[in-house]
Amino acid sequence: MYSNKPIIYKKDRRQRKDFISSWLEVSGVLVWLVLFAVVLLFQKAQPREKTFFDRLLAVELADTVDYTFLAPILYLLVLLLVLSAVSLFLNIKRLKRRTDHIRISYIITLVFATAGLIFFLIRF
């Protein structure tokens, strides 16, 4: 039967975002910026390819990798690995509500950081 009693909902005590959800938003952007910096530095470290004008003007190009960029790449890859792993761990620990989900960007950057470190250690 129908009742005239009002429906009593539980009071929502969440007034603002907690530290972990704020961290997950900030670190999501930060890991992609670090990955972008790694790609740019790696591209900058590669030797230039000889073009038509280089052959025409007999410009001498370096055939080796610029080793001054390799140390920052290594440090950024380690930072990316740690940042992605910590953020993924916090994201998994935060899965308490039905609307929470695992952010795929942490998994992607974790895989890229691991592959980059393995490539770095094998090649250099």
Q: How many CB atoms lie within 10 A of CB 28?
A: 15
- Tokens for 14, please give them: 């969440």
How sure is the predictor about 60, in pLDDT bands with cuts at 50, 70 and 90? confident
What's the rounded mean pLDDT across residues 33-38?
97
CA dihedral 93, 96, 20, 100 (to 10 degrees): 110
| Residue positions counted in the chain | 124
The 10s digit of each residue's pLDDT in 80-99 is 999 999 999 999 998 877 77
Interatomic CA distance for residues 31 and 113, integer angstroms? 10
The 10s digit of each residue's pLDDT in 16-27 is 778 888 899 999
Residue 47: what pLDDT?
A: 84
Please check the confidence at residue 45 and state whether its pLDDT lies above 80: yes
Cβ contact 109:78 at 8 Å: no
What's the rounded mean pLDDT across residues 99-107?
90
Buried b / exposed e along 84-98 (16+ C-beta atoms within 10 A): beebbebbeebeeee
Residue 12: what pLDDT?
A: 54
Please check the confidence at residue 57 and state whether its pLDDT lies above 60: yes
Interatomic CA distance for residues 124 and 107, integer angstroms? 25
